Chain A
């Protein structure tokens, strides 16, 4: 009698846990921005707070892009954009929450993949240096309805935006990604004392578009019509 009573409580505990697990936010689906800006827009206005080294690097990159001595490889040969530039993509992307332990972002543009690891910490510093990636290494956790993504271990071959905004190789970012209604918001904080005077933020908003199928993408191919995305010039 007593045992069955305890088991009854056990079931109710299990049910409590079930509902907690089931309540894990579902942000899976397809999303598409409605506007694009080649220059990243700083949250709160103003310009990215470049320090002296950052200003010098930015001027050098912009001059190089202009005279052709520096190639924007993300557009020329379609290597990954890097973070946060990939967040500005005018193409749709898809988020998967299968399998457990990771949230996977698949971008239509150049089939870029970002895996946010949910079940492990960031790799040690040596790994981040030796195995640096275009889109870095990312780990995530849920803070209520918000997916908090920390990234580090970026390689040195990306710009923060299409204007050539620089970053140092020890840049780290934190993103807070939340779905509100049929929109997804990603607010990213850039921490990069090598190039910037202080941490700064940018905000990206996407419409949920589960009516859209991601298409194949190859460099120099004919791609999706982007006329519905404000700010895109082809």
Chain B
């Protein structure tokens, strides 16, 4: 019995020769058959081979406005936005530091702007304590840098490559060895077990993927300032392509009556990168991540007793 491969090669050769005679039409059914079933609308194909979505692409010339968004949310067009830095302690991430040639800092949250005033007292106090720690030179690392699961919407903050797999019943987001599952066209469970990324259900509205997530645990932060939340957190994300398909915009709204007076919104843009050699990576974060400089880093997640 001959294997499938030579047969296919022979047929392909035939198809190419005859396509040359007949025009492109002869090859169309072939392409259609090879395209995997993703269920994605034509305007929101996010999982083409070799395509990934970068949270940051360095501009050719130093650009503070772009560098500032290296690993932060952008404000929404209107309405309340995320917690940010303030004029007293402007934040310089590593990319700002590199481009502007200034020393990098840790984050100090502005508790007096609109986003700061939107925090319930216990959240405000938690951030005030964190600010104080950072100003004393202690731990200002993000939760993600300590290898914890990031939660939503903080999942989007990493500047690295996001790989997306779209299928008819599920969309999977891969980023830095972490994964999120979005279940399509199903309702929420009655009582989802609290989890790091919650229960995400989604559907396509035209060329937009709308994702609704509840069922979170209260062990993550919603941002890199370490803004806590409760298990009442409810996040709606809208994924769509802009800039002719070169930018994936994720616009989200965060609602948590246990932590915030009003819902607030933010956006995070990712840039289309074509690199056939870049694939989802393994999660090796905890391998070498001790507190080498003794600056009070929280430990990486550690199981004193093996899971099984």
Contact = CB atoms under 8 A, between A and B. Distances in A.
Interface of A: 3, 6-7, 9-11, 13-23, 28, 36, 72-73, 75-80, 90, 94, 96-102, 104, 106, 109-115, 117, 119-120, 133-135, 142-144, 157, 213-216, 218-221, 223, 226, 232-234
Given A73-B287, A99-B48, A218-B148, A20 B18 contact: no
Contact of A21 (B33, B148, B306, B307): B33
Interface of B: 3-5, 7-8, 11-12, 14-15, 18-19, 21-22, 26-30, 32-38, 47-51, 147-149, 165-167, 172, 174, 177-179, 181, 183, 193, 195-197, 276-277, 279-284, 286-287, 300-304, 306-308
Given A78-B286, A135-B282, A111 B306 contact: no
Contacts of A115: 279-280
Contacts of B30: 14, 17-18, 21
11 contacts: A3-B21, A20-B7, A36-B308, A78-B303, A99-B165, A112-B283, A114-B282, A115-B280, A142-B5, A218-B148, A218-B149
B47 to A, nearest CB: 5
Nearest to B299: A77
A17 B195 contact: no
A219 B32 CA distance: 43
Given A14-B27, A218-B149, 9 more contacts: A17-B15, A21-B30, A76-B306, A77-B147, A78-B283, A99-B48, A111-B177, A214-B181, A219-B301
A10 B47 contact: no
Contacts, number: 185
A117 B287 CA distance: 25
A220 B303 CA distance: 4
B166 A98 contact: yes
Given A14-B30, A216-B149, A232 B308 contact: yes
Contacts of A223: 307
Interface centre among A96, A109, A110 (most CB of B within 10 A): A96
Contacts of B147: 77
B169 to A, nearest CB: 9
A16 B13 CA distance: 12
A13 B15 contact: yes
Contacts of B4: 20, 23, 142, 144
Interface centre among B12, B26, B177, B282 (most CB of A within 10 A): B282
A90 B8 contact: no
Given A36-B308, A76-B302, A216-B195, A99 B33 contact: no
Contacts of A77: 147, 286-287, 300-303
B27 to A, nearest CB: 6
Contact of B33 (A18, A102, A109): A18
Contacts of B18: 6-7, 9-10, 13-14
B172 A78 contact: no
B284 A134 contact: yes
A17 B303 CA distance: 52
Interface centre among A15, A76, A134 (most CB of B within 10 A): A76
A79 B284 contact: yes
B171 to A, nearest CB: 10
B22 A113 contact: no
Contacts of A36: 308
A19 B210 CA distance: 35
A45 B277 CA distance: 40
Nearest to B21: A6
Contacts of B48: 99
A143 B3 contact: yes
Nearest to B23: A7
A2 to B, nearest CB: 10
Given A7-B18, A9-B18, A219-B302, A100 B34 contact: yes
Contacts of A28: 167
Contacts of A99: 36, 47-51, 165
B308 A90 contact: yes
Contacts of B308: 36, 90, 226, 232-234
B177 A97 contact: no
Contacts of A114: 282
A101 B52 CA distance: 14
A90 B5 CA distance: 35
